[in-house]
Structure 1
Amino acid sequence: MNITIIEDELRTAKSLENILKELKPSAKITGPYQSIEEAVSGLSSGTQPDLIFMDIQLADGLSFDIFKSVTISCPVVFCTAFDEYSLEAFKSNGVDYVLKPFSKEDIARALGKVDDLKNFFQQNATPNLDALLSQMVKPAEKTSFLVFKHQKYTTVQISQIAFFYIRNETTSIMCFDGQEFSLNQSLEQVAAQVSQKQFFRVNRQYLVNFSAIKEIEHYFLRKLYVKLLIDTPEKLLINKEKSAAFLSWMENR
């Protein structure tokens, strides 16, 4: 099995390579390609791999641009810190969407899904698309979170949450009424559980509810400044690389 890694963070790429070597000792691994340009060159010059592990945000843009320059016929597992690109990922040969930081178990599940789909097509001359799609259905979105505060457990409904954010290396919930709660989950884990239509990861620290957005302004260096209905500890800024995706999300809900 030939596996290609497309990832601009060398430490992450090395960790992924080590996991793959452990899970698939016989696999030949190429890469990592750190940019769209490197990936296009590498994929164009040799034999197509059997599987690609691909980050979405690379040094020179979104990896979806690779598909515009080279034909990719193999399945792709997308590994990213952001959850809002999942729909586009599944339109681009994506068979799984792994959120960073990933574990050995996450990669094992992705490889298992690839093997299942390969077996599925080998055993079905005319694939049952409904059965195929059922393997890729996302888990039900959460409607509430269980929190603990003042020695008591309570639930916070999704509709009450203005935003999630990282504070002192801990994920916190900020409600519309000003109440705040800590969560024993990473922001990546939270983002994978809530509605992508309702929540957007504006940057590494904040996951915001559409209903909490008051207005958006242009900022320096082609960034966007997002103002919410309630105050945030710091300005919510979206970098220029992510601005287009955010505005598209705002418009196409």
Structure 2
Amino acid sequence: MIKVVLVEDEMPARKKIKKYIEKLKHPVEVIKELETVEDVLAFFTNDPVVDLILSDIELLDGNVFGAYKNLELKIPIIFCTAYNEFWMNAFETTGIAYLLKPYSFERFEKALEKYLILNTGKVYESSNSVLLEKLNSYLNKSSQETKVFQGSFPVKTSKYTYFLKVDDIMYFQADYGVVFAFDKENKKHVLNQTSLKSIEEMVDSEKFFKINRSELIGRIYIEKISRYDKNSIAINILNSKTILKTSQNKTAEFSNWLGI
């Protein structure tokens, strides 16, 4: 029995992973579910008996890599995330696989097979070189796989459904479980999604950046930026009087994203 800890702050994502686990041929038991970096630090500080970690990267209270580095964990980690820019960080820890959301059961199963191979030392085709070749091939395929992003979002009204192009969206805004999209005419649209994180998984991280807990901004609609205060940046949006601002923990990352 593989004892697994699930690090994920989104309930739908946890349900999906547990559904996939039920389909596996090898028995797996989820012994703990953690939603925050603080939870991760508290749980693993006690040195629990864990075989494998299935982990998202961006959690409710920040990035999980800081916790893993501080803990100096020796437990293998399969990362399950919507962010393709962290794969190098993942393999600098004890990461053995990097699954980009949305991922299929087949990819999830292959990641678990990789864990079993590394854990048991079982060599197929009676050759260590063949095994290493297979693992390297899997790693390269995982890191180079192209993700298909959403081209438009369906917007339902009482009479019909229309489709809002992603390229026409200046920014997304989440408010108490409702997600809005503001288009280039500054018109507000109510989307079907209920969280900003679900939107992040559907759009290109090169084009959109989450500047705070409730707003995700499109790069091409940034008119200018300025210092809001010591720890935040003010962002002026094209064709709009709206000014958005970064949260304190997103400011440096946002500057790097812009290349400044």
Q: Assess same fold via TM > 0.5.
A: yes
CA change 1:201–1:240 in 2 (3 A) is same
Match of 2:178 in 1: 170
Matches within 5 A, 1:69-84: 69=70, 70=72, 72=74, 74-78=76-80, 83=82
State the alpha-carbon separation in 2 of the partners of residues 90 and 49 from structure 1: 22
Task: Find the partner of 1:181 among 189, 203, 206.
Answer: 189
Deviation digits for residues 198-226 of structure 1 (CA, Å, limit 9, x no counterpart): 01111232211101112222234612222
> Who is 1:88 aligned against?
86
Does residue 208 (structure 1) correspond to residue 217 (structure 2)? The answer is: yes
- Kindly provide the CA deviation profile for residues 100-150 of structure 1, in whole angstroms up to 9, marking residues without a partner as x: xxxxxx998886353243367754513344455445635312223333457
Cα displacement (A) at 1:249: 0.8
What are the ranges of 5 or more consecutive residues in structure 2 without an aligned counterpart?
125-129
Q: How big is the alpha-carbon RMSD for the aligned residues of Structure 1 and Structure 2?
A: 4.1
Residue aligning to 1:50: 52
Which amino acid in 1 is paired with 2:219? Answer: F
Note the C-alpha offset of 1:194. Answer: 1.2
Q: Under a length normalisation based on structure 2, what TM-score does the superposition of the two structures give?
A: 0.66
Could you tell me which runs of 5 or more consecutive residues in structure 1 were left unpaired when the two chains were aligned: 100-105
Determine the C-alpha separation between the residues in 2 that align with 1:110 and 1:204: 30
1:224 aligns with 2:222: no
2:99·2:142 contact (CA, 8 Å) conserved in 1? no
Q: Which has the higher contact order (CA 8 A, sep 6+)?
A: 1
Give the number of equivalent residue pairs. Answer: 232
Residue identity over aligned pairs, in percent, reads 15
TM-score by length of 1: 0.67
The CA distance in 1 between the partners of 2:158 and 2:7, in whole Å, is 46
The secondary structure found in structure 1 opposite 2:132 is: coil
Q: What is the rounded CA distance, in whole Å, between the counterparts of 1:51 and 1:30 in structure 2?
A: 10
C-alpha distance in 2 between matches for 1:152 and 1:89:
41
Report the counterpart of residue 236 of structure 1 in structure 2.
Answer: 244
Query: Per-residue CA shift, 1:177-202, capped at 9, x if unaligned?
Result: 23333221233222211111001111
Instruction: Measure the CA separation in 1 of the matches of 2:185 and 2:108.
Output: 44
The residue matched to 2:252 in structure 1 has which SS? helix
